[in-house]
Structure 1
Amino acid sequence: MSKEVSGSLLLAWQVKGKHCLVIGSGDVALSRINHLIRANAKITVITGGGHIHEDIVKLHEEGVIYNLVKRNYESRDLKMYEKTSIELDGIEKLINPSHYEEIRQVVEHEVFANVCCCIDDYELSERIYYQCKFLRLPVNIADKPPLCDFYFGSMFNQDNLQIMISTNGKSPRLSKLIKDNIARQFEGIDLNKAVENLGLIRSCLRSNIVIDDDLISIDTRMNWIKQLTDYFSLKEWSHFNLTDENCRKIISYFPEFPPKDYQEFEKIISN
């Protein structure tokens, strides 16, 4: 009998500009808030009646936290921003361009994208979990893996580049150790610059090379950028300062390739 795999679906979750709720105001709540800040979420914090971490107060004073509610959690908090009531009866009528703006308003400005509960009260935490499930809200109950729709792993961040290490809630400390090991391997390399350079070339290729959007043409473009990416090391890609003009010179070779020699490649983009 094969061993059952216990893993999660690791995704990049877009919550930019969307409401996210954090319940609690201690160290764990602060760590959740910091994750959400990096994702540019619109953060609401229900502090509870105890001590509020001074960094949370400071983040609110700086305008980074959208709303700091200094009281105990109430069930109605899960719908605190909801105004629009869209009925799902006859959904085939709802999926119509005339309804798109109303739906976008609800998703981006009224409904919580996720809920993070970071309190010591297990009974209340469990109640919050099932309230979220009833409302179909994704929820994370801190330190209770069975009551989590998603986990917060250890993150290695360099702006455009994010690497997440997750043990599916089993060993957060091990996740951190692995993350620190990855960080040491990339010391002295501006990975964000490498991402920007390759992203600019890819965008330029898609914008300026007009060929059909059939599967063969798409595959040709993908293989071209893949081979070009493999030309140089991460450190070498991080040394370029590419502009739109540089990129046009590079993609002018398509479907052939520019010189693979690093110094020859540099000459092309500097001339």
Structure 2
Amino acid sequence: MSNAFPEIQGGGSLLLAWQIKNKRVAAGRILSVLNADAKVTVISPRAGLNEEVAYRISSGAVDYHDRKFSPEDLEGVDMVLTAVDDPAASTAIWKLCKQRKIAANIADVPPECDFYFGSVHRDGPLQIMVSTNGNGPKLASIVRKQIAADLPIGIGAAIERVGGLRRKLRKLAPEIEEGPKRMRWMSRVCESWSLEDLTDMEEEDMERLLGFYESNQVPRLQDLRQKDFADFEFDGSFGWV
């Protein structure tokens, strides 16, 4: 019986896509959290800012306080990221976060991190993170680049099209009891169509394809686009799945 289940491999991290849109973040790693639509507050004397952080401040992308950290800065904060060249100060901030149950990442101090930043590849809605659990950040970057190089061209655009189709389908069949059928039908579309087809799918194609949801059929894209497609009667040989 035990052979039917995967073997437990300890020592890993739970990799999550953390939704922090509109969450308040006290941040030292600017771009990662801004890409996730977080509300970022930077607290640092101006002399301690690097070029990118100074740019984000001047462009109005983040809120900024030109001073050292104060415990009151944790009020209303959902996440804390530190990049302080003072181990004692970093630990003090971490302890305050623990007391207030705020998730924190203390730069270069793994024991004082509730989460880590992996090496991330981004293509539109597609995000792939590689983590070595702190063993080799540079190697994580190398692995991430290799994975990205092997991905099909246009995969991000294909995902965007599938997302658009799913949203249309939810409007067409919004009932809760339709959930299992929606998922099965969308799975068939993704498995039956090539990535090139999904990338090439247009609004008109989506509308015509949705016309076959009720009958639980998935015609091929090239068949769907035939001008006289509506005149065909399904005889089992038309490329439907």
TM bin, normalised by shorter chain, reads 0.7 to 0.9
The change in CA–CA distance for 1:219 and 1:194 in structure 2 (over 3 A counts) is same
- Name the aligned partner's letter for residue 140 of structure 2: S
Is 2:182 aligned against 1:221? yes
> d(CA) in 2 for partners of 1:148 and 1:78?
17
Is 2:36 aligned against 1:77? no
Partner of 1:166: 131
The change in CA–CA distance for 1:236 and 1:185 in structure 2 (over 3 A counts) is farther
1:63-88, Cα deviation, whole Å (9 max, x unpaired) = 111x2222222222212xxxxxxxxx
Shift of 1:157: 0.8
- Name the aligned partner's letter for residue 21 of structure 2: K
- Name the aligned partner's letter for residue 34 of structure 1: L
Q: Would you say the 8 A contact 2:44–2:67 is kept in 1?
A: yes
Q: Would you say the 8 A contact 1:46–1:73 is kept in 2?
A: yes
Q: Give runs of aligned pairs for residues 75-154 of structure 1, distance below 5 A.
A: 75-79=71-75, 111-154=76-119
Partner of 2:172: 208
Shift of 1:153: 0.8
Q: Would you say the 8 A contact 2:118–2:130 is kept in 1?
A: yes
Partner of 1:35: 32
Partner of 1:104: none
1:218-257, Cα deviation, whole Å (9 max, x unpaired) = 22221111011011232332223x21x4322101112332
Structure having greater relative contact order (Cα 8 Å, sep ≥ 6): 1
Shift of 1:209: 2.9
Is 2:218 aligned against 1:258? yes
Q: Would you say the 8 A contact 2:45–2:66 is kept in 1?
A: yes
The secondary structure found in structure 2 opposite 1:267 is coil
Shift of 1:18: 2.0
> d(CA) in 1 for partners of 2:189 and 2:94?
47
Partner of 1:107: none
Q: Would you say the 8 A contact 2:121–2:128 is kept in 1?
A: yes
The change in CA–CA distance for 1:36 and 1:221 in structure 2 (over 3 A counts) is same
- Name the aligned partner's letter for residue 209 of structure 1: A
- The correspondence for 1:238, drawn from 183, 199, 212, is 199
- Name the aligned partner's letter for residue 89 of structure 2: L
TM-score, normalising length from structure 2?
0.83
Structure 1 unaligned blocks of 5 or more:
23-28, 80-110
The secondary structure found in structure 2 opposite 1:140 is strand
- Name the aligned partner's letter for residue 238 of structure 1: T
| Aligned-residue identity in percent | 32
Is 2:14 aligned against 1:55? no
The secondary structure found in structure 1 opposite 2:147 is helix
Structure 2 unaligned blocks of 5 or more:
1-6, 231-241
Q: Would you say the 8 A contact 1:48–1:73 is kept in 2?
A: no
- Name the aligned partner's letter for residue 202 of structure 1: R
> d(CA) in 1 for partners of 2:51 and 2:165?
44
TM-score, normalising length from structure 1?
0.74
User: RMSD of aligned C-alpha atoms?
Assistant: 2.3
The secondary structure found in structure 2 opposite 1:116 is strand
The secondary structure found in structure 1 opposite 2:69 is coil
- Name the aligned partner's letter for residue 210 of structure 2: I
- Name the aligned partner's letter for residue 251 of structure 1: L
The change in CA–CA distance for 1:264 and 1:14 in structure 2 (over 3 A counts) is same
> d(CA) in 2 for partners of 1:3 and 1:11?
19
